[in-house]
Amino acid sequence: MTSAHVFHRFTSARPPIATHGEGIYLFDAEGRRYVDACGGAAVSCLGHAHPEIAAAVAEQVAKLEYVHTGFFTSEAAEELADTMAEMSPGLERVWFTGSGSEAIEAALKLARQYHLERGDIGRSRVITRRQSYHGNTLGALAAGGSVWRRAPYEPLLIEVPEIDTCFEYRFAEPGETAEAYGRRAAQALDDEIVRLGPDTVIAFLAETIVGATAGAVPPAGDYLRQVRETCDRHGVLLILDEVMCGSGRTGTFLACEQYGVVPDILTLGKGLGAGYQPIGAVMCTSEVYDAVASGSGALKHGQTYNAHPVGCAAGLAVQRVIRRDRLLKRVCEAGEQLSNLLEARFANHPNVGDIRGVGLLRAIELVKDRATKAPFDPALALHQRAKEDAFERGLLIYPGGGTIDGRSGDHILLAPPYHVTDGELELIVDLLAKTLDSILPS
């Protein structure tokens, strides 16, 4: 039964009703089966209907469904924060939110307050990157560089200085090494801080690995370490957004661990609750926390569902399963396997320009011409056609379109669950190949 009253995002289409899930599969009311190769938007890292997570959620609801953080904390929140801090060298404190966008909002406010608490009151700007996504609330949207998401709301958005994102496939010069390009991309941050005046800059905000807007783009060379040094030199905080790439998706709890960098503030979401409950988090160093604790003594921020006990219980159960089943190791192995399958199938494909990613966050970029890297005409909306064709075949993939000066192509993002089997990976790549055969102009 469909209703006439639900405000669906795409008003011209009624999505099928999903009735249940099992592992990597989702089922709809017509009995059709879908291979969920992207976990929605890189959310379902333990697949669907995991009995242990469902049981932990049910137990928490029955025991303590809600407390307001103005009155109480909960065992689930305390234990999850301990678990996360133990897994995140250098990040000692955790603030729980209900989503990724809320985590970004809290992170931006915390960064500003950190400077205020220290009497550094002239810092008012956050530098962000073009072709980035940090959420859809107005503050987070202002901080992101997704052109089409921003366009209708520009008058409502605060002005945020932007630098180019670090995107080797698109922006390295021919013959430029990853190291040289990474250095050049990081230099853009230094230049922008100097241009604005270092005393005016609160923080630099970036995704450790770019997700939705560019498709699993890792930092080139020593980029992250260099931007860390630049921030330190200017007293600017480094905020890494790991809402999509964190929580184990790259094979380490935090993606920044792969690059030996500790930010001052970091955001999580999506895989933290694996979709069993909405939960996000802001993690920060003791230094950031202590500035607030020894200053005014309160973060001037708060929302009704902060540190929701059921969200925290889900997050805790997710971490228990990941540890017990050694799933971070599986993410590394399965990530290699997926990369090999994509290479074997598409490395010589005339319209696949790049195959990239880390762990189980992988993408392919579609191009009209491999030699020139020219993208397809955006009017073709090939990424959307790929999503629709794959959906018809029973495969869920996460599409993204070019947004930078026409220089970036359509991409398809894959983010299967951490316990994905080799056979399921083969099925995903087989179905994806059929979709490309069907949508690409031959």
| Dihedrals phi, psi of 292, to nearest 5 degrees | -75, -45
Q: Which stretch binds ligand PMP (CB under 6 A): 106-114, 192-200, 205-213, 373-381?
A: 205-213
- Kindly tell me which residue out of 77, 104, 142, 331 binds ligand PMP, with binding defined by CB under 6 A: 104
Per CB under 6 A, does 354 bind ligand PMP?
no
Residue 282 near ligand PMP by CB under 6 A? no
Is the separation of the CB atoms in 405 and 211 below 8 Å?
Answer: no
Quick check: 99 binds ligand PMP (CB under 6 A)? yes
CA distance 33 to 337: 24
Among 127, 243, 366, 395, binds ligand PMP (CB under 6 A): 243
Cα 24 to Cα 46: distance, rounded to the nearest angstrom? 8
Of 275 and 353, CB closest to ligand PMP: 275
21 forms bridges with which residues in the sheet? 26
Under rule CB under 6 A, residue 100 binds ligand PMP: yes
- Two tokens, residue 46: 């333990």
Stretch that binds ligand PMP, among 50-58, 175-183, 238-246, 397-405 (CB under 6 A): 238-246
**Contact between 244 and ligand PMP per CB under 6 A:** yes
Element housing 283 (H / E): strand 280-284
- Minimum Å gap between C-beta 405 and ligand PMP is 21
Q: Decide if 320 contacts 333 (C-beta within 8 A).
A: no
* 249-265 burial: b if 16+ Cβ within 10 Å, else e: bbbbbbbbbbbebbbbb
Does 217 help bind ligand PMP (rule: CB under 6 A)? no
Please report, as residue ranges, which positions from 34 to 63 form the binding site for ligand PMP (by CB under 6 A): 41
The closest of 360, 274, 256 to 319, measured between CA atoms, is 274
Q: What values do phi and psi take at 378, rounded to 5?
A: -55, -25
* Secondary structure of 334-359 as H, E, C letters: HHHHHHHHHHHHHCCCCCEEEEEEEC
H or E stretch including 110? Answer: helix 100-117
Binding residue for ligand PMP (CB under 6 A) from 130, 134, 170, 411?
A: 134
- When asked if residue 398 is in the footprint of ligand PMP (CB under 6 A), the reply is no
- How many residues bind to ligand PMP according to rule CB under 6 A? 15
By CB under 6 A, which span of 96-104, 192-200, 248-256, 317-325 interacts with ligand PMP? 96-104
> Is 171 strand, coil or helix?
helix
* Least Cβ distance, residue 98 to ligand PMP (angstroms): 8
Residues 6+ apart with CB under 8 A from 58: none
H or E element, residue 106? helix 100-117
Q: Are 15 and 8 in contact (CB under 8 A)?
A: yes
Asked if 133 is part of the footprint of ligand PMP (rule: CB under 6 A), the reply reads: yes
Q: Round to whole Å and give the CA distance between 190 and 227.
A: 8
Does position 212 bind ligand PMP by CB under 6 A? yes
Among 135, 218, 248, 311, the residue binding ligand PMP under the rule CB under 6 A is 135
**Could you say whether residue 143 binds ligand PMP (CB under 6 A)?**
no
Nearer to ligand PMP, 90 or 135 (CB): 135
- Range in contact with ligand PMP (rule: CB under 6 A) among 21-29, 132-140, 232-240, 298-306: 132-140
Q: Which residue is nearest to ligand PMP (CB)?
A: 100
* Residues in touch with ligand PMP (CB under 6 A): 41, 99-101, 104, 133-135, 207, 211-212, 241, 243-244, 269
